[in-house]
Amino acid sequence: MEYILGVDGGNSKTYAVIVDSEGNRLGQGISGNGNHQGIGVDGFLENIHSAVNQALNQAELHPGEISFAQFGLAGADREKDIHILRRALQTLPFKNWDLVPDTLEGLRAGSRTNTGVVLVCGAGTNAAGRNNAGDTIQTGGFGYRFGDGAGGGFIALEAFRAAVRAWESRGPQTRLTEMLPKSVGFEDMGDMYHYFLDNLHEEFPLSFTLTLHQAAERGDAAAIDILKKVGWELGIAANSVVKRLGGFDNEPIPVILVGSVLQEGKNRYLLHMLEETIKDENPTCDMINLPMEPVYGSILLGMDNLNIEPDDDILNKFSSYGGYDA
């Protein structure tokens, strides 16, 4: 029996899972931020150690028994960062291991051929792809000032702006003027407005994203327009990946949807605009909502390295396990 460790490191959590070669989950561990760009290399390694050790203890295994360890990490986007992360991961007690960006982890989790496009829309956003030749490319992932127009942080900002503009009669009326302040414990827009003026460096809470989704479900036009805008932004990011990468030869292209906004939000206005925008340029694209936690993409990449062919039974197990809170 061989044992595979998969680690998914993101901006909000680090999630580690150990399975055997038949796909049975033996252990898991959860810790904090897994992006070295946000907390530094020492903090990143501390969280990696914590999640991995929890998984090892639960599986009753020691590091030497791990056949392959695969890390899928946010922040592993540029050669500079990959060099930093590889140097840090070399300190871990695993003989066989590899590192990919978390986007390619998500792609593998949703694409049996490990080709296609992956769209990430969680706290942030990213788009990447891999073609039949094994070439990869990334579009976005570095924030609003570098061209991104999606992600929970962006949605929270747009929700706040829409509420302020309506409150000051500079924009259309919206339920957000009532719902946003209440969602974070303020009496009204005035209290919330002045709080953020007095705390300019404080990020808007990501809970604003959920509140905006709720407003859209109640038919709020401003909230719906924001979600349509996000769908359009994600669509043009996917089209950018296809155009810049090439090598798909008019075959069906899976587009894997990853991240809380896409996997949990599933807003019909956003998803309709996303699909419409993509298919205007790439009609063979097929939208696939990721059926399993992204960490199992790392597990599948580990299996690929060990020449283990994951059958339907293994894939169904991965889908059934849910996340770290299951």
pLDDT tens digits, the chain, 326 residues: what are they? Answer: 999 999 999 888 899 999 999 999 999 999 998 888 888 989 999 999 999 999 999 999 999 999 999 999 998 989 999 999 999 999 999 999 999 999 999 999 999 999 999 999 988 899 999 999 999 999 999 999 999 999 999 999 999 999 999 999 999 999 999 999 999 999 999 999 999 999 999 999 999 999 999 999 999 999 999 999 999 999 999 999 999 999 887 789 999 999 889 988 899 999 999 999 999 999 999 999 988 999 999 999 999 999 999 999 999 999 999 876 65
CB atoms within 10 A of CB 200: 6
The domain 3-95+292-321 is classified under which CATH number: 3.30.420.40, 3.40.50.450, 3.40.50.2020, 3.40.50.150? 3.30.420.40
Chain CA centroid to CA 49, Å: 21
3-state SS, one letter per residue, for the chain:
CCEEEEEEECCCCEEEEEEECCCCEEEEEEECCCCHHHHHHHHHHHHHHHHHHHHHHHHCCCHHHCCEEEEEECCCCCHHHHHHHHHHHCCCCCCCEEEEEHHHHHHHHHCCCCCEEEEEECCCEEEEEECCCCCEEEECCCCHHHCCCCCHHHHHHHHHHHHHHHHCCCCCCCCHHHHHHHHCCCCCHHHHHHHHHHCCCCCCCCHHHHHHHHHHHCCCHHHHHHHHHHHHHHHHHHHHHHHHHCCCCCCCEEEEEECHHHHHHCCHHHHHHHHHHHHHHCCCEEEEECCCCCHHHHHHHHHHHCCCCCCHHHHHHHHHHCCCCC
pLDDT of residue 154: 96
Amino acid 312: pLDDT: 95
> What is the pTM for the complete model shown?
0.90
Backbone angles phi, psi at 141, to 5 degrees: 105, 0
Please count the CA atoms within 13 angstroms of the CA of 128 that sit on its side-chain side.
Answer: 26
Which residues share a beta bridge with 18? 5, 27
CA atoms within 13 A on the CB side of 58: 17
Same fold, 3-95+292-321 and 111-290: yes
pLDDT of residue 325: 62
Query: Tell me, what's the pLDDT at 10?
Result: 85
Does the domain formed by 111-290 have CATH 3.30.420.40?
yes
Domain boundaries, the chain: 3-95+292-321, 111-290
199-to-10, 55, 181, 185, 196 alpha-carbon distances in Å: 26, 39, 15, 16, 5
